[in-house]
Amino acid sequence: MSTFFAKANEVERKWYVIDAAGLPLGRLATEAARILRGKHKPTFTPNVDAGDHVIVINAEKVILTGNKLDAKMYRRHSGYPGGLKEVPYRRLMQIMPERAVEHAVKGMLPHNKLGAQMYTKLKVYRNENHPHQAQKPETWTIQ
């Protein structure tokens, strides 16, 4: 019995749609990261990008529990001294809820080149309209 290792050129990729309406941001992000990484497949290999494509729709309807809307901050830095920008999640969810979902998922992927490659397979949209009907995406439900 030999251990199976997936090869990058032999991976079969599918497309999945996740409806974010009414889901907590963290639960949505962990499930999306799991699919992007390929951990839902029996052929999971840690050093190969064996994951599938994920389309997240209704990003504006995702919920944050507790006091996170006011207490949690989205931070970015320009790289210059004094270049820290902070936006509360209440404001971020009004102006660009896609970025909140992308930021949560990116933080749950590996922090290396492989994680960056996995992150490119994530597509997030504010409402239920998306231009990926040609890929025939399957619906992924989260309990």
Q: If we measure between CA atoms, which residue out of 19, 24, 18 comes closest to residue 40?
A: 18
Separation of alpha carbons 28 and 109, rounded Å: 13
Residue 15: pLDDT band (50, 70, 90) is very high
Residue-wise pLDDT for 23-41, tens only, equals 999 999 999 999 999 999 9
Q: 1 pLDDT exceeds 90? A: no
Residue 143: pLDDT band (50, 70, 90) is confident
Separation of alpha carbons 62 and 51, rounded Å: 23
Q: Two tokens at 128?
A: 């239920």
Bridge partners (DSSP) of residue 63 are 24
Region 117-129: what's the mean pLDDT? 97
How many C-beta atoms lie closer than 10 Å to residue 22's C-beta?
10
Residue-wise pLDDT for 67-96, tens only, equals 999 999 999 999 999 999 999 999 999 999
Over pLDDT 70: what percentage of the chain? Answer: 100
